[in-house]
Every structure is written in structure tokens, then in C-alpha cells.
Amino acid sequence: MNILIFAAHPDDEVLGMGATIKKLSGQGNTISLCVVTEGASAQYSNKKMIQKRKNSCLSAGKILGIKNFDFLNYPDMKLDTVSHVEINKSFEKIIKKYDPRIVYIPTNTDLNKDHQIVHDSVLIAARPFKSSVKKIFSYEIPGSSKIQFDPNVYENIEKDFIFKIKSFKKYDSEIEKFPHPRSLDFLDALSKIRGSESGLKKAEAFKLIKEIID
């Protein structure tokens, strides 16, 4: 099965669903990743960090079993300065390219505008009659929330969590110390919290946004 993941920034895919990606690729699915922004220019003055983040994404993706990568290179933290129509059309091209049945997108419940815009634009690009998408999930990204993430789907990641940690370590410039939400200890704690909510030892949480059964 073709599965497409949209990430606003390189590392969102690992933080939000790294273990699930590994699990899905291990089941024989073809995983494609579209990284929307370069993810560095708003944080770093050194332009070399853009390539470093891209290389980290490729290395992390190799661990997780991601087969295809697309980097759209929109400006970091400035998606609200880009035409909404332009973003929608670029997403339509990506969806047409990979013909996915399942799509994962960032949540729109946090304070990051890039996450919100990617979320909304994918829903437009993946609408019926324009795509083959049958199921859309959003994933949570640790950080500042404007609304508490309210999952209704939990993925058992007990066997695959170690690969989430291994892949996130490839983003060495982004790892913080606990209790920061981008710390290794926090990711472990969150997996246990989501696990306890669902009767599992470790889980990643998702919200099913749309499912078409034919």
C-alpha cells in the first residue's frame, strides 16, 4: 500500500510518528515523505543548516524505511507568506505522484502556523474526485499546544520505539535536554502515556480525520 506523510519541517515525521513509520514500512507498505519547508532559516543564520537538516532527514528516513523523499523548500516558519493556492497545488502534485491510499498530516491543534497550514492544505489537496486518498490521520508533534491533542487511534509501538529514538538522534542539532518536549526522555514518557491510555506499553497517538469505505 502507498502511504504518504506530510511534515511541515524535517523532524516532524520522527517526533510525531517515527515508530509507526518503521512499523508500516516493516509491513511492506511503500512510505513516501514530503517535507514542506527547509526547517532551518528561522532558527539558524548559517545557511548550511538547511542542508544539514535535509541530510538528517534522509538518514533518519533510511532507518525508518522511508522509500521516497520530496523537499519543497518553502521558507521555515513563513508558510503564511506563501499563496494558499500555490501550496495547495504543490500538494496536489505530490499526492498525484505517489497515489497514496493513506495520508498522515501534522495536527492543527498547536501554535505552529506551519503545522496548521500544512494540515489545512492537505485536506484540500486530498479531497474526493481529486485524489485516491481513502484515509487521513493527523499526528501530534510535541511542543506548545493551543488545544490539547485529542486522539482516537493508538498504534502499538512497543517493538518499534527504539527506531524512533535512533532516527531522532540523526537530528542531533534538534535534541534538547529533559523536560523539553524535544528530548529523548520526553519522547519515551509520551509513548508510555499514550500507551497507558490505550492498554499498551508504548503507543503513538493519531486522530482519524476522514475515512472513505468503498
pLDDT at position 167 over 80:
yes
Q: CATH number, domain at 12?
A: 3.40.50.10320
- For residue 95, what are the domain limits? 2-211
Using CA atoms, how far apart are residues 49 and 172, in angstroms rounded to an integer? 12
**If you count them, how many residues does the chain have?**
214
pTM: 0.96
C-alpha to C-alpha distance for 77 and 113, rounded to whole angstroms: 7
pLDDT score of 107? 94
Q: How confident is the model at residue 45 (pLDDT cuts 50, 70, 90)?
A: low
* % of the chain surpassing 90 pLDDT: 86
Beta bridge partner(s), residue 29:
none
Contact 45, 7 (CB under 8 A): no
**135: which strand partners?**
102, 211
In 3D space, the residue among 173, 202, 200, 176 whose CA is nearest the CA of residue 189 turns out to be 202
At residue 69, φ and ψ (nearest 5 deg) are -130, 135
Say what the pLDDT of residue 49 is. 86
- Residue 180 scores a pLDDT above 80: yes
188 or 148, greater pLDDT? 188
Whose CA is closest to 64, among 107, 9, 15, 99?
15
How far, CA to CA in Å, does 33 sit from each of 18, 174, 176? Answer: 12, 19, 24
Question: Taking 80 as the threshold, does the pLDDT of residue 62 lie above it?
Answer: yes
Q: How many domains does the chain have?
A: 1
- Looking at residue 114, its pLDDT comes to 95
| pLDDT computed for residue 130 by the predictor | 81
